[in-house]
């Protein structure tokens, strides 16, 4: 869902995914998909919504994040045992993770290469290859 810039467009895309363009979903999509790619947690998106004057419960933020993920608008990134991140960039790319700040930074997919991945164990197929470059203050 690269450019979900315009509101009417948002409604169309939500419908196409079988999701009613409710006020909450439309406004959350507005935060998430207007402008550049972003990485959010349920908590961070809820806080941002509150600051933006969007009235939405935390339960709905969770529901919406999962629905957007199922629709392919978001993808989950597992880097921290404590909380889940959602990424508006669903294309092929990887991440720096700044552990102390809980901050994710994109690494373009073309830039990084993983080779020598062995064949998947019998009966299994590779779903995706995730690379996390953990960085710290030296």
Partner DNA sequence: TCATAGATTAGAATTATTCTAAACTAGTTG
Partner DNA sequence: CAACTAGTTTAGAATAATTCTAATCTATGA
* Non-local CB neighbours of 89 within 8 Å, separated by 6+ positions: 37, 75, 106
Interaction residues for DNA, span 26-65 (CB under 7 A): 41-43, 55-60, 62-64
Residues that bind a second copy (CB under 8 A): 76, 78-81, 83-84, 96, 98-99, 105, 107, 111-118, 120-121, 123-138
48 counts as binding Zn ion under rule CB under 5 A: no
> In terms of Cα–Cα distance, which of 44, 136, 128, 138 is closest to 97?
136
Scanning 26-34, 41-49, 68-76, 106-114 for contacts with Zn ion by CB under 5 A, the matching segment is: 106-114
Which residues face 95 on adjacent strands?
106, 132
Residue 89 CB, nearest distance to Zn ion (Å)? 4
Q: Does 24 bind DNA (CB under 7 A)?
A: yes
| CA distance linking residue 21 with residue 35, whole number of Å | 20
User: Is the separation of the CB atoms in 96 and 80 below 8 Å?
Assistant: no
Segment near Zn ion (CB under 5 A); pick from 61-69, 84-92, 109-117, 127-135: 84-92
Give kind and range of the element (H or E) at residue 84: strand 83-87
Task: Give the footprint of Zn ion on this chain (CB under 5 A).
Answer: 87, 89, 106
């Amino acid at each position: 869902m690269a450019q979900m810039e315009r509101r009417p467009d948002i409604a169309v895309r939500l419908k196409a995914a079988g999701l009613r363009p409710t006020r909450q979903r439309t406004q959350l999509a507005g935060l998430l998909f207007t402008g550049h790619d972003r990485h959010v947690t349920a908590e961070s998106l809820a806080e941002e919504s509150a600051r933006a004057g969007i009235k939405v419960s935390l339960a709905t933020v969770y529901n919406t994040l999962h629905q957007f993920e199922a629709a392919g608008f978001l993808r989950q990134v597992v880097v921290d045992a404590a909380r889940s991140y959602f990424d508006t960039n669903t294309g092929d790319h990887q991440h720096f993770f700044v552990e102390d700040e809980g901050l994710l930074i994109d690494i373009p997919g073309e830039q990084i290469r993983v080779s020598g991945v062995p064949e998947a164990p019998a009966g299994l197929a590779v779903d995706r290859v995730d690379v996390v470059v953990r960085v710290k203050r030296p």
